[in-house]
Structure 1
Amino acid sequence: MAFVPGGEATLGYVYYTGLYGPMPYQVEGFWIDKFEVTNAEYAEFVKATGHAPAAFVDEDDLNQPDQPVTGVFHEDAIAYCAWKGKRLPTEVEWEKAARGTDGRIYPWGNDEDLSRAHISGDAPVAVAQYEGDISPFGVRGMAGNVSEWVADTRKAKGGRCLDGGVDTRKQTPEMQKILAELRALNGGVLPEACLPPVVDPNPHIQSEPCAYIKGNSWNGRPHMTVASNRMWDYTNSIAEFVGFRCAKDK
């Protein structure tokens, strides 16, 4: 595991598809796995506990021992981490582990060299294969290979993972500058992705649990490689491009 010291880090971006920012976040120190959990490691968990195997255990392009495990529910990831005496990282922890403290765009810096990460192809690769996909804390594979479940859960309605209401925090100077540039590029109005979340528009519709997902994957799009990007899925969903890594307290 890699240790991420406590303290302030510039996280987030102007889009509401992620943490509100760019702005400083105070994050307590924690440990995080240097690599995504592999098929071999998950198989040990299954053997020791009798837990159900990953969904793609019989598919040769997804079940190699050194590939990241995929095809796991959010609760499966939680159970594995607990078995190891760990837990899933929060979104804030994951993003700090990926970006460091200086607000960099990618784990390796601000250079848009996406060849450093595995973000195209037909399947995940070995977790240690892309040496250039490395964060300031020595954490690997946070820009590509597979996307990763994090601990944060919400409620989904109408195809949206709602975060509970309007965010009233003030815009930082950095954010104001970026928003002005985005308005200029978008005919004088903000793109929809920049608008703050609204109060639940469908209170009468039953909700389902959803959870956040961080990091791009071999099946993603280039814009998803930035460490501030957030995705989500229903907690009872699986995908061949979503895995996880664990964290633990200091």
Structure 2
Amino acid sequence: MSDLCAAAIFIALTSQAAAADTGPIADNPLIDIPAGPFVFGRDDGPENERPRRVLDGQAFAINRTEITNRQYRRFVEATGHRAAFYANHPALGLDDRPVVGVSWGDAVAFCRHYGLSLPSEQQYERAARGSNGAAFPWGEHGGKVVPANFGTDSCCSGDARDGYPMTAPADAFAEGASEEGVLNLVGNVWEWTSDLYAPYEGQAAAESAGQYRVLRGGSWNSDPSHLTTTYRLAYDPEFRFAANGGFRCVRSAP
């Protein structure tokens, strides 16, 4: 290996290391997302994703992967909090898979225990889309081979075409990483955000105002139309029986 090539590899590795903080959750570093303008929303998708705007984002850091069963179990053992609903499932409960079967409140309690919080929709979208507002974490186009864990072509059943009939390991699909190296921001499991569901502009319908929280990212049984970085799903925050819903945490800048 030439000295020039070796130097380039060393610079690349040290640059990646500098962008990550080991953080308070073992085996799940926090990845730095820098401050700056970013694209939020879109004008050519579902009504609840409109309008497209350019916002001035604050710096934050986000878990590299979804929270795993192993990581959630450590939290349960340390605090006495209730276990995830699928903790003992033979497939969904595997140590390296993202935890599922957790309510919004369970996810909040986990993040809070570590001095973190759930990401806002804006934080999720900036981490997933990058600074230029891509439709997918890996770029603007889905392509013939989608580097994510998702389901059948029509909603909503899982399949094993991507190698996993249900959840995949939280560090799988490295080729689908975001601009800053965050994994599985689409596919694998839906992810709780901190936000109440409401239109970006205008007012929510009275019967739904304040009732739902927002999930992002699609999951192992989602069809491809749910895998974009802008798709929003309103969900009951008390429901803890979803086999396809998990979360990750963020540390916001002071």
Could you tell me the TM-score, scaled by structure 2's length?
0.77
SS at match of 2:146: helix
Q: Cα RMSD (Å) of the superposition?
A: 1.9
Match of 1:237 in 2: 239
* Deviation, structure 1 residue 209: 2.4
Task: Kindly indicate whether the alpha-carbon contact (under 8 Å) linking 1:56 and 1:63 is maintained by their aligned counterparts in 2.
Answer: yes
For 1:206 and 1:249, how far apart are their aligned partners in 2? 28
Q: CA deviation at 1:199?
A: 5.5
Matching residue of 2:155: none
Whole-Å separation in 1 of the counterparts to 2:52 and 2:149:
26
Alpha-carbon separation, structure 2, partners of 1:25 and 1:147? 24
Equivalent in the alignment of 1:42: 72
In 2: Cα distance, 1:52 partner to 1:235 partner: 16
Identity over the aligned pairs, expressed in percent? Answer: 29
1:11 matched to which residue of 2? 40
Secondary structure (helix, strand or coil) at the match of 1:54 reads coil
Does the Cα contact within 8 Å between 1:208 and 1:234 map onto a contact in 2?
no
For 2:88 and 2:47, the matched residues in 1 are separated by 34
Give the gaps of 5 or more residues in structure 1.
155-162, 169-197
Tell me the alpha carbon deviations over residues 118-160 of structure 1, each in whole angstroms, 9 at most, x when there is no partner.
1123310101111112000110001111110000024xxxxxx
User: Are 2:201 and 1:167 equivalent residues in the alignment?
Assistant: yes
Residues 53-202 of structure 1 mapped to structure 2, 5 A cutoff: 53-113=83-143, 114-120=145-151, 121=159, 122-154=165-197, 163=198, 167=201, 200=205
Q: Select the structure with the greater relative contact order (CA < 8 A; seq sep ≥ 6).
A: 1
Deviations 1:163-206 (A, max 9, x none): 27x826xxxxxxxxxxxxxxxxxxxxxxxxxxxxx663xx4x58
Which shows bigger deviation, 62-71 or 236-245? 236-245
| Change beyond 3 A, Cα 1:199–1:230 | closer
Query: For the residues of structure 2 that align with 1:102 and 1:75, how far apart are their CA atoms?
Result: 32
Aligned pair in 2 of structure 1 residues 89, 199: CA closer, same or farther (>3 Å)?
closer
Deviation at residue 101 of structure 1 after TM alignment? 1.2
- Work out the number of aligned pairs and report it: 209
- Flag structure 2 segments of 5+ consecutive residues without an equivalent: 1-29, 152-158, 160-164
Deviation at 1:46, TM superposition (A): 0.3
